[in-house]
Amino acid sequence: MSPRLALLAVTLLVSGCTCNVGANSCTTEQDCTNPAAPKCDQTGICVACVIDEHCAEGFQCLNGACEPGCASDTDRCPTGICKAGVGCVSCILDSQCGPGMICTAANTCVPGCSAQNPACPSGLVCDPALGQCVECRDSTSCTNPPLTVCNPTTHTCVQCATSTDCRDPMRPTCDPSTNTCVGCLSNTDCPNNGVCHLQRCVQCLSDAQCGGSTPRCDPATNACVACLPGATDNCPNGQYCRPDFRCEQGCKTGADCPSGVCLPNHSCQACTSDQQCAAGTICQSGTCVGACGTNSPCGANQTCCNGRCESLSGDANNCGACGRACGANQACCASTCRSTTSLTDCGACGVTCTVDQFCDGTSCQNKVFPNFCANRNVVAIRDGIPLDNVATTVLASTITQYCSATTTLTYGDDNDPAFVDQDGGALLQGGGSTVVTAGGPFPNLPVKWLERTRRVTRVYFSNNVAGTEFYFKQRLAPDAGMADPILVTRLQSACAALLPDGGSGGQHNDVFLVELAIDPASGTLALIAYGLCSPGNGTQAAAWYWANVMLPNRSTYTDSWYLYEWTDTNGNSTPELTDTFTRLASGQ
């Protein structure tokens, strides 16, 4: 064919072509100038994509357009997980979520656990039936004495769940309200027909619970005795009840005497027989006389009492006067009955404790933590704030375990006038007793009394006028001539820290105080504990740290106050061994 004919044939062929013609037609990608359709497909059309890689993560190429979705787990899903018919998701299986998380039907990870993903944050275990991470499923997870039992209802470690968990014979009953072992909850818990009083088994509350040779109930000791002195003396005619609850020969009232007059020494005035005289004396010429009398006087500084020579200045049975007996824990000091558990008469008359000492009933003890167990009577006083009440229970929870077996522990409230003076907050237990209480000086009456009214604590709470900063300050002597120094400052905004995963919520750090103080009005030793921040997780951390670390190792805590910073390392708002406790300051 000649060149001329060939050119004509090509021209005719092109003019008769049905190729794609228009703005979206292309031969190469350079022909596609629209940013929304930058690719040239096999049909010569400009499109958004030709293959999945032309689309962003989480999109796939369908008919030249990028549509949400994926083809496989490797198809550029940000999570690496593709669900057929749905697209890229966070999870399909629980195992694709982190520790303490499970996968929902909506393919999102939420807090929880399962048999498929049983991993939980440190200190927690998985309960697949609940689908939650809990403190314990059974008691094998509870290894921190005395909280060695798993409460099946709350899945938390407690002292007891049932009474079978209580091994101390003095505290054999489990109190379900606090999950602590106590002496009793009802009379049926007490052997030998005993009575349950203040969670302690006693013999009686009234005479109706006594009988036989001990028909009377002593209200001071709740014990059945043979007789009670005073107006209700039940001794037979011709006898009276002595202060030690024994019947002895002598008159009770004038009705026992022919003259109608019963003398203070329990002998009849103008006696007519020996039976009308007190024990140890006889009737001579109408007068009861004994080993001593007019004809046989006593020596210097002695007085004849009931026929016996007694020192009225130092005899507890005849203190200041014949027959004037001192009570329990009292001595006759300069003819006056005084408590020997006081700060001025500790163990004996005239033995005075220093300002930093308390009296345990026998001797003066320095106010430091190694001596905490010296007092055998301990009272845990609650302030009515729920978190503080729980902390007070924890504060007292290990005292009977780490102190003497003869230590008694009772619970009371600061609105009870039997425990706390309602006008000021003074502690009413006296020497030989210790009060433990958790909570700051605003809701807690005993702490307010010690810290703000009597100003005997060495560390105290303060804040700025705006209420945006909290402080622990050290109290200096009044004559120090300088302002009390700030030991710790905490911003209110820093009281609620971020959770380990970056989320917020709860209180996960605080600074707390544990301190011993002495009530100068009564001589009562007090253990106080509380945190700087609200709502009170720091107070709970203080109570936990005392009960589980400081008390068991009290010989190493030689000061009278300690400040610690608590960091909740796993973000569960609960103090435990895995948390961080950093000592900030301590002192006498």
Mean of pLDDT values over 140-154: 88
Whether the Cβ atoms of residue 299 and residue 308 lie closer than 8 Å to each other: no
Mean of pLDDT values over 381-398: 92
Q: What is the pLDDT confidence band of residue 494, given thresholds at 50, 70 and 90?
A: confident
Q: What is the pLDDT confidence band of residue 421, given thresholds at 50, 70 and 90?
A: very high
Interatomic CA distance for residues 185 and 176, integer angstroms: 10
pLDDT for position 14: 37
Please provide the average confidence, as pLDDT, over all residues in the chain: 86
pLDDT for position 7: 36
Interatomic CA distance for residues 105 and 402, integer angstroms: 51
Strands 377-382 and 408-413: parallel
Report the DSSP beta bridge partners of residue 218: 223
Q: What is the pLDDT confidence band of residue 73, given thresholds at 50, 70 and 90?
A: low
pLDDT at 438 over 90: yes
pLDDT for position 501: 42
Q: Helix, strand or coil for residue 355?
A: coil
Least confident of 40-49, 292-301, 428-437: 292-301
pLDDT for position 12: 36
pLDDT at 565 over 60: yes
166 vs 405, more confident: 166
- Tens digit of pLDDT for each residue in 79-126? 788 887 778 888 888 888 877 788 988 888 888 888 888 888 777 888
Q: Return the DSSP state at 214.
A: B
Mean of pLDDT values over 181-201: 89
Comparing C-alpha atoms, which of 581, 582, 576, 506 is closest to residue 121?
A: 576
59 vs 344, more confident: 344
Mean of pLDDT values over 291-298: 69
- Tens digit of pLDDT for each residue in 451-491? 999 999 999 999 888 778 899 999 998 777 789 999 999 88
pLDDT at 293 over 70: no
254 vs 193, more confident: 254
pLDDT at 37 over 50: yes
Interatomic CA distance for residues 476 and 458, integer angstroms: 8
pLDDT at 312 over 50: yes
Least confident of 202-211, 248-257, 475-484, 574-583: 475-484
Least confident of 40-54, 192-206, 402-416, 485-499: 485-499
pLDDT at 519 over 50: yes
123 vs 272, more confident: 272
pLDDT at 74 over 70: no
Q: What is the pLDDT confidence band of residue 503, given thresholds at 50, 70 and 90?
A: very low
Whether the Cβ atoms of residue 157 and residue 576 lie closer than 8 Å to each other: no
| Strands of the 377-382 sheet, one edge to the other | 408-413, 377-382, 433-438, 525-531, 509-518, 561-567, 580-587
pLDDT at 506 over 60: no
pLDDT for position 158: 92
pLDDT at 571 over 90: no
519 vs 72, more confident: 519
Mean of pLDDT values over 407-429: 92
pLDDT at 319 over 90: yes
Comparing C-alpha atoms, which of 216, 232, 223, 537 is closest to residue 385?
A: 537
Q: What is the pLDDT confidence band of residue 362, given thresholds at 50, 70 and 90?
A: confident
Q: What is the pLDDT confidence band of residue 574, given thresholds at 50, 70 and 90?
A: confident
Least confident of 111-125, 263-277, 331-345, 474-488: 111-125
Angle 287-288-294 (CA atoms, 0-180°, nearest 5)? 75
pLDDT for position 8: 36
pTM assigned to the model: 0.51
Q: What is the pLDDT confidence band of residue 132, given thresholds at 50, 70 and 90?
A: confident
| Other beta carbons less than 10 A from residue 517's beta carbon | 26
User: Cα–Cα distances in Å, from 251 out to 236, 248, 307, 456?
Assistant: 10, 9, 16, 51
pLDDT at 13 over 80: no
pLDDT at 356 over 70: yes
Torsion angle of C-alpha atoms 420, 421, 424, 429, degrees rounded to 10 = -60
Strands 357-359 and 364-366: antiparallel
pLDDT at 6 over 70: no
584 vs 288, more confident: 584
- Tens digit of pLDDT for each residue in 461-472? 998 887 788 999
Q: What is the pLDDT confidence band of residue 207, given thresholds at 50, 70 and 90?
A: very high
Cα 446 vs. chain centroid, distance in angstroms?
16
